[in-house]
Structure 1
Amino acid sequence: MKVKVFTVNSFAKTLEGGNPAGVVLDADSLSDESMKSIAGEIGFSETAFVMKSESAHFKVRFFTPEEEVDLCGHATIATFYVLLSKGFIKPGVFLQETKAGILSVEVKVDSSIMMEQNSPSFYEIVNKKEIADSLNITEYEMIDELPVQIVSTGLRDILVPVKNIKILNAIKPNFEEVSRISSKYNTVGYHVFTLESLFGSNAYCRNFAPLYGICEESATGTSNGALACYLSKYGKINKRQDHQFVMEQGYLMKRPSEIKVELRVEEQEVIGVKVGGKVLNLSEKEVEI
């Protein structure tokens, strides 16, 4: 049996940039094993499988080459771009059913996509030395006034602040330790960032999720949604931007990515999170299962 898989680059800053994702439409007949097999064959960090839903416009499931995850930002952006490009939807607001809940997705007239994430949950603060050792840096290379903390807008990530881009680019993680610590804290991985940027953005980031078979990812929607909430909580926000954030990622991988985040804030509490960006390089291939 042959299955058609669409591929695109989500959050792309340039034609070479963004984070590649696979999208399979009409996936209702596929078994879990088939979906995992397809995701492994495509080899991207995530592949999305679109199905019928009784409670939303679409049901979407997300598989890494290793296993299923509850939500994936860049694969959601990819999914709705493919649906738009293939004429299944027009610009507007849609609901997607995921294992992280029913979330809205806005498809804009310029073909950019913004997806709703859950309001943030802030969890434990993690020992800086433990994280630093796994990244082969010292805790003194981290930002003093910011904690290493687990935050989620759908997936639990360990947010790790470092002092500058030079330190961040030089990091060579011990991936076995990163996996062990990620498992210990029931997180997907580390989202390591600095408040320095290349092009005037809010943060410059790298993302490590070896526990899920992703040593490094070039653009991570859920992690950057969590990061924007974290920056808002700890006062690292430009008031002129009115809770509009831009994050840079993927540059060291030669896959420049730009992730936009919009927060809705009432009485200093984040009550709404949207993450999105542009999509480029739509193509398709067939996978035999």
Structure 2
Amino acid sequence: MEILRYAAFTDRPEGGNPAGVVLDATGADDDQMLKVAADLGYSETAFLVPTGDRSCAVRYFSPKAEVPFCGHATIASAAAYAQRHGTGPLRLDTRAGLIDVRTDATPDGTVTATLTSVPPRSVPITEADLAALLAALRWSPADLDPALPVRIGYAGAWHPIVAAATRERLADLAYDMDALATLMAERDWTTVDLVWRESAEVFHARNPFPPGGVVEDPATGAAAAALGGYLRELGLVEPPVTVTVRQGDDLGRPGVLRVGIGADPAGGIDVTGTAVRLPD
């Protein structure tokens, strides 16, 4: 397999979230894909199998397990595909459903990609799960923003959406990795989307990802899409609107995700970002 490396949601190699990309994984089995993902050590690697004109089946593997959908690896894959085959539309058949992606390139060759998620939704969290989640995070109820209730959001994968009352609380991330990993595995949560609202349309985010063997994901497109659906469903924004999510600052890998929230309550959420190739 030809393994490419890209950083998504950034225009600099030292920013954003690195992902592995295999543009043609035809014939690779689960064990081979998991081994490649583990050897790379990135939070996700995408394995594409061409199925037609600008269409591919795709699977996503973390170093420890497969996930149904990954936003940053989708943006990275779209950039890699565009640089190999030209910009334009790309349809990806993921285990979460069909994902349409559009790519464009700037004169210097930087690729911008926009994915449209599957229809999002969110569900309340039980009191017991909330207590267990806060205990694993080593947060208290007083650390939460009461204007943004904790819910479990979905836009291809499930993520608890937990809003901090202050930027300082978000910056101080020292959770119990074993306890959080166990809870997330039991509930089939992919990452925890910790956010702080700077303004009505600007959020800061951090995403613990212990089920994948990663302490923290630097930029999380799937969680950003889930956040967009959550904001629309709870009436916390007035669509159509674009929300900016800043993530990775606390890791020294700053990234920017643009979340397009349409007015259709059943419509997918657009997540836009740039991606750049990393040295082999």
TM-score normalized with structure 1 length: 0.89
Q: CA deviation at 1:201?
A: 5.6
Task: Report the counterpart of residue 273 of structure 1 in structure 2.
Answer: 269
Structure 2 runs not aligned, ≥5 long: none
* In structure 1, distance between residues paired with 2:277 and 2:121: 34
* In structure 1, distance between residues paired with 2:115 and 2:220: 13
Runs of 4+ deviating beyond 4 Å: none
Asked if 1:32 corresponds to 2:30, the answer is yes
Q: CA deviation at 1:231?
A: 1.9
Task: Report the counterpart of residue 12 of structure 1 in structure 2.
Answer: 10
Of 191, 194, 197, 1:195 maps to: 197
* Kept in 1: contact 2:21–2:76 (CA 8 A): yes
Q: Secondary structure at the match of 1:277?
A: strand
Q: CA deviation at 1:176?
A: 1.4
Q: CA deviation at 1:148?
A: 1.3
Q: Secondary structure at the match of 1:255?
A: coil
* In structure 1, distance between residues paired with 2:118 and 2:39: 30
* Kept in 1: contact 2:242–2:258 (CA 8 A): yes
Of 93, 98, 102, 1:97 maps to: 93
Task: Report the counterpart of residue 215 of structure 2 in structure 1.
Answer: 215
Task: Report the counterpart of residue 160 of structure 1 in structure 2.
Answer: 162
CA 80–56 in structure 1, closer or farther in 2 if over 3 Å, else same: closer
Q: CA deviation at 1:236?
A: 2.9
Task: Report the counterpart of residue 225 of structure 2 in structure 1.
Answer: 225
Asked if 1:71 corresponds to 2:69, the answer is yes
Amino acid at match of 1:278: T
Asked if 1:108 corresponds to 2:107, the answer is no
Q: CA deviation at 1:134?
A: 1.3
Q: CA deviation at 1:183?
A: 2.2
Q: Secondary structure at the match of 2:145?
A: coil
Q: CA deviation at 1:260?
A: 1.1
* In structure 2, distance between residues paired with 1:183 and 1:245: 29
Q: Secondary structure at the match of 1:226?
A: helix
Q: CA deviation at 1:54?
A: 5.9
* Kept in 2: contact 1:265–1:272 (CA 8 A): no
Q: CA deviation at 1:26?
A: 1.7
* Kept in 2: contact 1:179–1:189 (CA 8 A): no
Task: Report the counterpart of residue 125 of structure 2 in structure 1.
Answer: 125
Aligned residues: 274
Q: Percent identity?
A: 27
After superposition, what is the alpha-carbon deviation per residue over 1:77-112, rounded to whole angstroms, capped at 9, x for unaligned?
1111111112x2x22222111111121111124320
Structure 1 runs not aligned, ≥5 long: 285-289
What is the root-mean-square deviation of aligned Cα atoms in Å? Answer: 1.9
* Kept in 1: contact 2:206–2:247 (CA 8 A): yes
TM-score normalized with structure 2 length: 0.91
* Kept in 1: contact 2:6–2:76 (CA 8 A): yes
Q: CA deviation at 1:282?
A: 3.5
